[in-house]
C-alpha cells in the first residue's frame, strides 16, 4: 500500500486528556490488524507513551500529558504509520478441543438454517487469528468467523456466562475465560485455561496467534 494513502486514512480521536485512539480503518481485516499491532509495538518504545493497546484496526495510546499533546503525538503516529510494517512473524498455533453442546447451539442452527453438524463443521474449519486480547483477563477476540455463521449479538445479554463457554457473534468467536456477563451465542465449551494468573501477560493467547478448534467428545 503506498504510504501517502495509508497516512491519509488514519484518524486521531482524543480519549480524555491522557489518551487517544488512532483509527487505521473500520473493517475486521487481518492486514489492518497487522498494521495496528506493529504500530502499537513502535509506540510503546516512545518515552512520551505510557501504554499502547492495539485492537482490530486501531491503537489506543495512553500518553504522559507532561511530555506531549494529542496534536503532537497524533502527528508522530501518522508519520510512524506511514512506514511499511515489518513482515509479521506467524504467531503460535493453538489447537483447542471444544465440546459442542452450548445452550445456543440449536438456536444458531435454526437462525442460520443449517443442521447442527454443519454449524460445528463450519466453526472448526478455519484457522482463526487472535486479533486482540482484552475485555477481561484471558479473553481473546478471534476471527474471522465464516460468513455463514454471522449473527448479531443476543438481544438480551446473559447476566453470567460460565467460564469456558465457546461463543460466536458477528464475524468473531471467542472463549469466556471467567464467569462474566455476555451477549454472544454459546455453542460449546472448552476446558483449556485461557486466564493464566501466574504469567505476564496472564493470557494463553497473544495478539497474532492462531487458533484451530476441533470437536471433542463430551466427558
- With CB under 8 A as the contact rule, the residue among 53, 80, 105, 120 that binds another protein is 53
What whole-number distance in Å separates Cα of residue 38 and Cα of residue 83?
10
**From residue 131 to residue 150, what is the string marking binding to another protein with x (rule CB under 8 A)?**
-xxxxxxxxxx---------
User: Is residue 47 a contact residue for another protein (CB under 8 A)?
Assistant: no
What whole-number distance in Å separates Cα of residue 133 and Cα of residue 191?
19
Q: 108-111 long-range CB contacts below 8 Å, 24 or more apart?
A: 108/149, 108/151, 108/168, 108/185, 108/187, 111/151
The residues near 112 (Cβ < 8 Å, ≥ 6 apart) are 119, 148, 149, 151
* Closest CB 151 distance from another protein, rounded Å: 14
- With CB under 8 A as the contact rule, the residue among 57, 109, 119, 167 that binds another protein is 57
* Backbone angles phi and psi of 165, in degrees to 5: -65, 135
Residue 141 or 213 with smaller CB distance to another protein: 141
- With CB under 8 A as the contact rule, the residue among 8, 51, 72, 160 that binds another protein is 51
* Closest CB 26 distance from another protein, rounded Å: 6
User: Is residue 151 a contact residue for another protein (CB under 8 A)?
Assistant: no
- Helix, strand or coil for residue 36? helix
Residue 48 or 195 with smaller CB distance to another protein: 195
* Backbone angles phi and psi of 138, in degrees to 5: 90, -15
Residue 26 or 191 with smaller CB distance to another protein: 26
Residue 17 or 148 with smaller CB distance to another protein: 17
Residue 190 or 203 with smaller CB distance to another protein: 203
Rounded (10°) angle between helices 105-112 and 116-124: 100
The answer to whether the CB of 36 falls within 8 A of the CB of 59 is yes
Stretch that binds another protein, among 76-84, 93-101, 115-123, 192-200 (CB under 8 A): 192-200
Residues that bind another protein (CB under 8 A): 13-19, 21, 23, 26-28, 40, 44, 50-60, 62, 65, 69-70, 132-141, 178, 180, 195, 197, 200-203
Amino acid at each position: 500500500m503506498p504510504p501517502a494513502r495509508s497516512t491519509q486514512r488514519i484518524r486521531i480521536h482524543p480519549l480524555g486528556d491522557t489518551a487517544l485512539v488512532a483509527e487505521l480503518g473500520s473493517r475486521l481485516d487481518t492486514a489492518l490488524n497487522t498494521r495496528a499491532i506493529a504500530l502499537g509495538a513502535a509506540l510503546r518504545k516512545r518515552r512520551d507513551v505510557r501504554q499502547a493497546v492495539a485492537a482490530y484496526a486501531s491503537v489506543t495510546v495512553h500518553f504522559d500529558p507532561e511530555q506531549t499533546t494529542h496534536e503532537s503525538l497524533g502527528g508522530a503516529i501518522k508519520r510512524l504509520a506511514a512506514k511499511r510494517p515489518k513482515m509479521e512473524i506467524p504467531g503460535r498455533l493453538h489447537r483447542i478441543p471444544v465440546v459442542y453442546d452450548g445452550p445456543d447451539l440449536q438456536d444458531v442452527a435454526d437462525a442460520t438454517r443449517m443442521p447442527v453438524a454443519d454449524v460445528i463443521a463450519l466453526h472448526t474449519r478455519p484457522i482463526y487469528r487472535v486479533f486482540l486480547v482484552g475485555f477481561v483477563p484471558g479473553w481473546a477476540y478471534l476471527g474471522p468467523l465464516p460468513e455463514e455463521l454471522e449473527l448479531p449479538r443476543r438481544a438480551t445479554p446473559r447476566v453470567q456466562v460460565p467460564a469456558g463457554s465457546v461463543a460466536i457473534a458477528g464475524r468473531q468467536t471467542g472463549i469466556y475465560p471467567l464467569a462474566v456477563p455476555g451477549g454472544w451465542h454459546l455453542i460449546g465449551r472448552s476446558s483449556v485455561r485461557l486466564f493464566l494468573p501466574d504469567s505476564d501477560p496472564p493470557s494463553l493467547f497473544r495478539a497474532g496467534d492462531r487458533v484451530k478448534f476441533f470437536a471433542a467428545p463430551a466427558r
